[in-house]
């Protein structure tokens, strides 16, 4: 199994944000944005594959992974400002954005506000609004804040995910948890800093902004859904296609919400044609 590249740090809007880099400078830029509570490591296989053609970056977004917890909060606009500053300080003129869940929201908000900068967008199992079934489902049990061992953290992740391989989910646990001074394990993500459930699920203001972004973005958008997720409804996909200028979609079998973790090879196969690999 391959490992992540060395951690690099960028000072972005007053926070030290970790990021990872694959591929050759001078190649087209591709930036990956992970899901809520996850980390840049969720993109490892896809980033390695895409680096044959692209200069790939994956960010640990504020309050996640090896990045600092933010002092100025976790509103969507703060994440988008971080992405904007990362692009600015690196001098990227154009790029492809690939965003899973909240990373998809950040991708379309940035793209709508910066026409002509983004070439293509992949949204992974996310849309402007959740399916009615997901809204009506009972809330998921809260994540424990502490585990006795890393293995206990892995077993908790496994209890909510029957789809990812053992090796991949163990990698997830190692990338998302850290050992404390007392020898227990806790999340790297700033779980106390986020509202759960996320306000994006019900906020008419945010949902309206996401739909407006879909309508105004002029570049191709490719939606990759996890077939077992249920978060993005067929009706929502149809609406995205009717509003967007160039929206296509595909479902990945035996995958839930974080498609590239549950089925890395199938995710690569789904994405490769859209980004020309």
Distance CA 122, CA 99 (A): 6
What's the CA gap between 42 and 231, in Å, rounded?
A: 19
CATH fold group of domain 8-132+201-272: Rossmann fold (3.40.50)
For residue 98, the cross-strand partners are 32, 122
User: Diameter of the chain by CA atoms?
Assistant: 54
CA 44, 158, 197 angle in degrees (round to 5)?
A: 85
How much is the pLDDT for 3?
87
The mean pLDDT value for 160-176 works out to 97
The residues, any chain, with a CB within 8 Å of residue 249's CB and separated by 6 or more, are: 222, 223, 224, 225, 237, 240, 241
* Model pLDDT for residues 81-139, shown as the tens digit of each residue: 999 999 999 999 999 999 999 999 999 999 999 999 999 999 999 999 999 999 998 88
> So what's the pLDDT on residue 124?
98
Report the pLDDT value the prediction gives residue 1, as an integer from 0 to 100.
66
Are β-strands 247-252 and 118-124 bridged in parallel, bridged antiparallel, or unpaired?
unpaired
SS3 at position 250: strand
Own/partner long-range contacts of 68-71 (Cβ < 8 Å, ≥24 apart): 68/15, 68/16, 68/17, 69/190, 69/193, 70/15, 70/190, 70/193, 71/14, 71/15
Tell me the pLDDT of the chain averaged across its residues.
96
Whether 59 and 35 have beta carbons less than 8 Å apart is answered as no
Question: Cβ distance 230 to 126 under 8 Å?
Answer: no
Domain extents in the chain: 8-132+201-272
Instruction: Give dist(CA 159, CA 139) in Å, integer.
Output: 15
User: What pLDDT does residue 148 have?
Assistant: 98
Q: Is the pLDDT of residue 140 over 70?
A: yes
- Put simply, whether the predicted model's pTM sits higher than 0.85 gets the answer yes
């Amino acid at each position: 199994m391959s490992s992540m590249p060395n951690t690099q740090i960028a000072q972005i809007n007053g926070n030290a944000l970790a990021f990872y880099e694959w591929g050759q400078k001078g190649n087209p830029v591709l930036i990956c944005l992970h899901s809520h509570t996850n980390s840049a490591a969720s993109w490892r296989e896809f980033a390695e594959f895409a680096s044959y053609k692209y200069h790939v970056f994956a960010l640990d977004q504020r309050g996640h992974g090896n990045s600092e917890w933010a002092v100025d909060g976790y509103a969507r606009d703060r994440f988008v400002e971080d992405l904007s500053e990362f692009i600015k300080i690196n001098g990227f003129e154009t790029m492809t954005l690939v965003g899973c869940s909240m990373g998809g929201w950040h991708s379309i908000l940035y793209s709508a506000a910066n026409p002509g900068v983004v070439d293509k967008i992949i949204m992974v199992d996310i849309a402007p609004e959740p399916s009615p079934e997901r809204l009506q489902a009972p809330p998921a049990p809260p994540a424990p804040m502490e585990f006795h061992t890393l293995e206990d953290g892995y077993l908790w992740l496994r209890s909510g995910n029957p789809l990812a391989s053992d090796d991949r989910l163990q990698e997830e646990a190692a990338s998302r948890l850290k050992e404390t001074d007392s020898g227990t394990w806790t999340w790297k993500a700033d779980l106390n800093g986020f509202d759960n459930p996320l306000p994006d699920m019900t906020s008419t203001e945010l949902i309206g902004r996401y739909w407006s972004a879909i309508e105004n973005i002029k570049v191709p958008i490719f939606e990759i859904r996890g077939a077992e997720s249920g978060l993005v409804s067929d009706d929502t996909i149809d609406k995205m296609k009717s509003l967007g200028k160039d929206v296509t979609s595909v479902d990945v079998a035996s995958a839930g919400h974080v498609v590239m973790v549950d089925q890395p090879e199938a995710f690569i196969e789904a994405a490769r044609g859209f980004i020309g690999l």
